Amino acid sequence: MVFSLTILGCSSAMPSPERFSTAQVLNVLERFFLIDCGEGTQIQLKKYHIKFTRINHVFISHLHGDHFLGLFGFMSSLSLNNRKLPLHIYGPFRLKELIDLFISTMERGIGFDIVFHPLHYQGAELIFEDDKVTVESFPLRHRVPTCGFIFREKLKLKHLKGEVIKELNIPIRLLQSIKEGADFYDEDGNLHPNHTLTKDAAPSRSFAFVTDTAKNQGIIPIIKQVDLLYHEATFADEVKKRAKETGHSTARQAGEIAKRAEVKKLIIGHFSHRYKSLEVLLNEAREEFPNTELAFDGAVFDVK
């Protein structure tokens, strides 16, 4: 029952050997979602032993090079590896133009279909759903149209208490509704409340990805109480003005958002190169929201 985030890169603007451009993989119940795909993402996937073939969905937040330039090499390598399954890409519509032109330069194209899902920037929107997981996009506040993403496990059914079910001889046709929360009346008309028939399911887990953005309180209701929040913290608060001008957040602002959204844990990333040590950023965010961690390439954050 894995719900695990791996950071592949968490630099802002320019990558370095120690800190690649933005990319992450979220594994939700063995679904592998690639979130942003900066230059060198395929190298990081190899480094951290994540199989390319497991990835079927790629989410690109916005059209700045440090968030998407690894996509072309990743696609080429999938094709060299004889991928046949379609790859779903969710991103800004002009990304499709770049992908199409790139593929047109390849003498044999690529051996699988790209299913492109253009993002909209009007409000929260359900962009992916299967039997266990949903993904929503929502607009951020950056220099170009940018989306954050929330990944959620669906609400889980309650677990039946097998012995009670057997003892009361509850018909099979009623079990699904009981898992969904219904009470049960026996033949004598006695009420058996749901909590006597079931155990609570494990809570549904959630992750929100928020980069790049200036401080944006509008996202608070959308990311409310997520288990894990990745929020950019490009700068320290002493250059708050520069953060706002460039459409970025400070570490303190990331902490404020986490606190007001009552998330369980905050990870900050997308660090400016001006910070040789990241202590100042971590301390600032923790002053607002103590359960904060720094992202680093290769870091893994599990939600139990």
Q: By CB under 8 A, name the binding residues for a copy of itself.
A: 13-17, 20-21, 39-40, 42-44, 46-47, 63, 65-66, 69-70, 72-73, 76-77, 80, 94, 97-98, 101-102, 105-107, 143-144
Of 43 and 170, nearer to a copy of itself (C-beta) is 43
Catalytic residue among 66, 227, 237, 297: 66
For residues 129-150, one letter each, b for 16 or more C-beta atoms within 10 angstroms of the residue's C-beta and e for the rest, the string is eeeebbbbbbbbbbeebbbbbb
**Is the distance from CB of 271 to CB of 233 less than 8 angstroms?**
yes
Angle formed at CA 202 by CA 199 and CA 203, multiple of 5 degrees: 120
Q: Residue holding tokens 């991103």?
A: 91
Residues 64/37, Cβ–Cβ less than 8 Å: no
> What is the smallest separation between the CB atom of 143 and a copy of itself, expressed in angstroms?
6
Least distance to a copy of itself, CB of residue 90, Å = 17
Compute the least distance from the CB of residue 38 to a copy of itself, in Å. Answer: 8
For a copy of itself, the closer of residues 4 and 52 by Cβ is 52
Specify the residue, 108 or 173, whose C-beta has the smaller distance to a copy of itself.
108
The Cα–Cα gap between 112 and 103 comes to 11
CB of 26 to a copy of itself, least distance (A): 21
Residue 43 makes CB contacts below 8 A (sequence gap 6+) with 20
Minimum Å distance from CB 139 to a copy of itself?
Answer: 17
Distance CA 231, CA 148 (A): 10
Strand order in the sheet with 206-210: 125-129, 133-139, 147-153, 206-210, 228-232, 265-269, 292-294
- Would you say 30 or 107 has its CB closer to a copy of itself? 107
- Choice between 65 and 203, CB closer to a copy of itself: 65
CB of 269 within 8 A of CB of 67? no
- Report, in Å, the least distance between residue 298 CB and a copy of itself: 11
77 vs 194 by CB, closer to a copy of itself: 77
Determine whether 66 is an active site residue: yes
User: Active-site positions?
Assistant: 66
